[in-house]
Amino acid sequence: MNEEELNEMIIKCPACAAEGVAKSIMKEIEIPHFGKVLETTIQCPSCGFKHSDIIALEQNDPAKYVIEINKNNLSVRIVRSQSATVSIPEVGVKVEPGPKSEGYVTNIEGILTRFESAVKKALNLFDDEESQINAKKTLEHIQELKKGNETATLIILDPFGQSNIVSEKVEILEIPEEELHELKTGFSHIENK
């Protein structure tokens, strides 16, 4: 993966409105067998706000990407645009696009790590025993997948075809019309308080 820093700008922070401290960094990332992706990261040292987004420079059709998570696929490159829904049905985890969702380039292991920290956060919020037990089971399942001890299915649905699983083992399917209507798109906007 080649990265090239294109542009760094000082901007007004979209979260706390501080002037002259927040940075917007634009990077062009070349992903083999996929193409170029533009990554923008905004960071504010004043309030800690951080947001990343990616734009694939080549637009594709709406698509459903499916791959098996197993010990040989953990390093498979993943491009997740902020309009994509990512799920692992066997584990019962799903992330849908929303105003705060981010676009990023990672690999399958990185996706598992993101789910792992989301479940850990949830674990701290639940106080009833049943939810605690369920969250712990989910956490263990994710950790076993990370170690390559188990297999499951990773599904990425992207109504704008901006995401990708970069592997010859990926199955690319059309999104059925009904499913397409139900998908959240999480259109890009930064929440202003």
Q: Which residues bind Zn ion (CB under 5 A)?
A: 13, 15-16, 18, 44, 46-47, 49
Q: How far is the CB of 100 from Zn ion (least distance, A)?
A: 15
Compare residues 52 and 185 and give the one whose CB is closer to Zn ion. 52
Q: How far is the CB of 49 from Zn ion (least distance, A)?
A: 5
Residues 55, 38: contact at Cβ < 8 Å? yes
Nearest residue to 147 via CA among 88, 71, 76: 71
Compare residues 52 and 153 and give the one whose CB is closer to Zn ion. 52
Compare residues 32 and 48 and give the one whose CB is closer to Zn ion. 48
Contacts of 87 (CB under 8 A, 6+ apart): 93, 94, 95, 154, 155, 157
Give all strands (DSSP E) within 19-126, no chain letters. Answer: 22-31, 35-43, 50-56, 63-69, 77-80, 85-88, 93-95, 104-107
CA 173 to each of CA 3, 73, 170: distance values in angstroms, whole numbers, following the listed order: 30, 19, 10
Compare residues 15 and 67 and give the one whose CB is closer to Zn ion. 15
Q: How far is the CB of 21 from Zn ion (least distance, A)?
A: 7
Q: How far is the CB of 19 from Zn ion (least distance, A)?
A: 10
Contacts of 189 (CB under 8 A, 6+ apart): 99
Q: How far is the CB of 48 from Zn ion (least distance, A)?
A: 7
Compare residues 13 and 54 and give the one whose CB is closer to Zn ion. 13
